[in-house]
Structure 1
Amino acid sequence: MSLTIKRQNHRIHPCNASRKNELLSRLAAQYDDKKILIVTAGAAEQIIVPEGKNIALVNDETLAQAGDLACDVLISYDLPEKALVYMARIAKSRDYALVLMDAEEQKRLYGIETLLGRTIIQEVITGFEPDFGIAAEKKSKEEAKARRAARDEENARRDERPKRDFKPRLDTDRSKAKRDDRGFRDDKRPSNKDSKPRFIGKDENGKPIFEGKTRERNHYIDGTPRSDAEKAQRTPYANKPKFFGDKTKSAEGEKKPYADKKSFGDKKPYGDKKAFGDKKPYGDKK
């Protein structure tokens, strides 16, 4: 089957199904000086035919029986199930073949383009933009491109702003004296190292608990303040309580001298032991 229609005159106008009659009126007004044939595969009751002497409406069965029927502009109100039926449609047109395609009919387009051997140009008419297919993808790409352009313009304006002049960081560290002058950031922490420990509370055994331990209190006993006599003792652990099992250390003068221990000479000499030769020879064993 040979086609006389040029590729640029064979177009698909995607639109939503609810607006097909509006788009049909727009196309009929555009080609009002030509003979227009409207073809449908379904019921013709839902189609509103525009007024005009040169406009006719038929279905695929009537078109197949009318062998000599021809037109200048063929408008397919919908796409048929079979691709051969659509090929019989466009064979009746001399100049233009236009298709009104909705979302449900989009799946039938692949078989038609396969049989035709080429793709059909899809053109979206302004004011009838659909929410599906290539037109929706194209619209989404255009919106994304506009957002990227706005973002790049904003970044360019941000780069043109004068930058703040930051002072360079000192290479030398602060001295310890400056750090000490600042004091503590937390008011609860003591700033004086010689201050007395703060009473926190008591543990489960009733023993007082303090924030720090110094020699000012008996921390091993009950936490009471120490007297001057207790502070003057030789060791800070002199008031440590004695527990069961501790052995009392004797004074240095009561230690037994080393001479009281048995000397090494009191041991039996090695000669009192039986000599090795007293053992029975190996050959005497059974």
Structure 2
Amino acid sequence: MPSSSIKPTNHRVYPCPNDKKLLLLNQIISQNIDSKIIIVSSQDISSIKESLVDITSVEVLSDDELLKDESLKCDLLISLDLPQKAILYIQRLSHTTSKALLLLNESEQKLLYPIETLLGRVIKQEIVEGFEYEKKETKPKQKQMSKQDIKDVAKKRYDESTRDQNEPKKEFKKPKRDDGKAKEWEKKKKAPNKFLGKDEKGKAIFSGKSGERNHRHDGSPKESYDAPKKVGKKINIKSLKKPKDKKAD
């Protein structure tokens, strides 16, 4: 595996959004005019060459071009992105003798962990003023509720859900009719059922429904319970009791 001889203090990550990378790249080049610089990217490098202000001491290469020539060395290696494989970035570092900088957007941060695992250390990240990530609006954290607060909220919800049930029910009023049909709905009083006599067979006749089971043939109502006329033999319970055995003298 290719090894890197650069010191951890000379290895930096600059967090930077994609639309500001080329601007930051030109600023770094202007600050290191006396150094031999190699810029490497895993993407199209033609647009990078066109955007550079001073390219006299700068060489722009792709990963394939850099790996073909092991003799290529520089004082400062600038990576504009990260390759998908961590080993390729380690091979990049083998071409610098002093410093290495990495311009990293927010979505590429996840590719940094495998590289740090191979290096056996964390690469220090340094924010350059004016090139940091755009701040996202974060929702304020909700205050953690106490047990009493939870009980109060639950009670309030319960009261709201049962409020309608506790209200007295409205009485239903039947609409009045003016067409004379209201009397049809009214309950009619039943006329008393009178005993009219007996028919030829001696059966009782009534003015209404007779309810014969509840009346005798003479028209008088039956009692709720008629005791049986024949009573069974009475048994004296005391006489059935056996006498106690007397104790032997």
1: CA distance, partners of 2:57 / 2:95: 15
- How far off is 1:281 after superposition? 8.2
Unmatched tracts of structure 2, length 5 or more: 139-235, 241-249
Structure 1 residue identity aligned to 2:28:
L
The 1:126/1:280 distance shift into structure 2, 3 A limit, reads closer
- How far off is 1:53 after superposition? 1.4
Are 2:82 and 2:108, in contact at CA under 8 Å, matched by a contact in 1? yes
TM-score of the superposed pair, with normalisation by structure 2? 0.53
Are 2:4 and 2:90, in contact at CA under 8 Å, matched by a contact in 1? no
Structure 2 residue identity aligned to 1:282:
S
Candidates 62, 84, 89, aligned match of 2:87 = 84
Segments ≥4 residues shifted beyond 6 Å: none
The 1:281/1:127 distance shift into structure 2, 3 A limit, reads closer
For 1:104-183, list aligned pairs within 5 A: 104-131=107-134
For 1:53-72, list aligned pairs within 5 A: 53-72=56-75
- How far off is 1:77 after superposition? 0.8
TM-score of the superposed pair, with normalisation by structure 1? 0.46
Are 2:12 and 2:101, in contact at CA under 8 Å, matched by a contact in 1? yes
Structure 2 residue matching 1:81: 3-state secondary structure: coil
Are 1:49 and 1:57, in contact at CA under 8 Å, matched by a contact in 2? no
1: CA distance, partners of 2:127 / 2:115: 20
**1:282 corresponding residue in structure 2:** 239
- How far off is 1:2 after superposition? 2.8
Structure 1 residue identity aligned to 2:59:
A
Structure 1 residue matching 2:61: 3-state secondary structure: strand
- How far off is 1:280 after superposition? 11
2: CA distance, partners of 1:74 / 1:17: 18
Structure 2 residue identity aligned to 1:24:
L
Q: What's the RMSD between the two structures over aligned residues?
A: 2.6
Give CA-to-partner distance per residue, 1:28-50, whole Å, 9 cap, x none.
Answer: 01111100000000111332233
Structure 1 residue matching 2:84: 3-state secondary structure: coil
The 1:282/1:24 distance shift into structure 2, 3 A limit, reads same
- How far off is 1:3 after superposition? 1.8
Larger RCO (CA within 8 A; separation ≥ 6): 2
2:6 aligned with 1:5: yes
2: CA distance, partners of 1:96 / 1:280: 122
Q: How many residues get paired?
A: 141
- How far off is 1:84 after superposition? 0.5
**1:32 corresponding residue in structure 2:** 33
1: CA distance, partners of 2:131 / 2:96: 25
The 1:7/1:280 distance shift into structure 2, 3 A limit, reads closer
Are 1:10 and 1:96, in contact at CA under 8 Å, matched by a contact in 2? yes
Give CA-to-partner distance per residue, 1:2-30, whole Å, 9 cap, x none.
Answer: 32111110000001110000000010011
2: CA distance, partners of 1:68 / 1:103: 33
2: CA distance, partners of 1:127 / 1:84: 31
Give CA-to-partner distance per residue, 1:150-196, whole Å, 9 cap, x none.
Answer: xxxxxxxxxxxxxxxxxxxxxxxxxxxxxxxxxxxxxxxxxxxxxxx
Structure 2 residue identity aligned to 1:52:
I
2: CA distance, partners of 1:281 / 1:39: 123
Structure 2 residue identity aligned to 1:27:
I
2:77 aligned with 1:74: yes
2: CA distance, partners of 1:18 / 1:51: 20
Structure 2 residue matching 1:96: 3-state secondary structure: strand
1: CA distance, partners of 2:23 / 2:46: 15
